[in-house]
Amino acid sequence: MNFKKSITLVVLVLLLGSCSAGGPTEHIKVSMTDFTYNPNSFTVQAGKEIKLDIANNGAIVHNFLIMNAGSDIGQDFDQEDEKNVYWKIDLGPGQSTTTSFTAPPEPGEYLIVCSTAGHYIAGMIGKLHVLP
């Protein structure tokens, strides 16, 4: 009987943990270093105001740029991609700030990139998952 209770408890803990980890948030914390976002995946609810705590722990300017849904970047981010930017913030080395943005109104997956030359191609990307 104790074994069944232990198994049930483990299953419940795992289920509860998975529910809270994948749900939408209204507060994102991210650090940028050279060629990476940490973390690099975020889930938010469509149209909600999202608080963003962001820090540039890298050696050069980085940005957190959310592309419009369905936007495709070629070899590297360039001038043509600017028209497909949904929201953007730039930070110099060692800078940090707290700001906010409104999540896109349409559910879907949105690409996050750093537009500093060569950073997109080096893999400085993330995903913003927008839920209905």
Residue 15 lies in a domain: no
**Residue 10 within any structural domain of the chain:** no
Query: Is 12 domain-assigned?
Result: no
The whole-chain average pLDDT of the chain stands at: 87
pLDDT-based confidence at 9, cuts 50/70/90? Answer: very low
Decide if 80 is inside a domain: yes
User: Taking a C-beta distance cutoff of 8 angstroms, is the pair 118, 73 a contact?
Assistant: no
Q: What's the predicted TM-score (pTM) here?
A: 0.82
Range of the domain at 31: 24-131
Summarize pLDDT for 63-82 with one digit per residue, the tens.
999 999 999 898 999 999 99
User: Percentage of residues in the chain with pLDDT exceeding 70?
Assistant: 83
Q: Does 101 fall in a domain?
A: yes
Residue 39 lies in a domain: yes
Q: Give the pLDDT confidence score for residue 23 in this predicted structure.
A: 87
What is the per-residue pLDDT across 86-101, written as a single tens digit (0 to 9) for each?
Answer: 999 999 999 999 999 9
Query: Structurally, how many domains does the chain consist of?
Result: 1
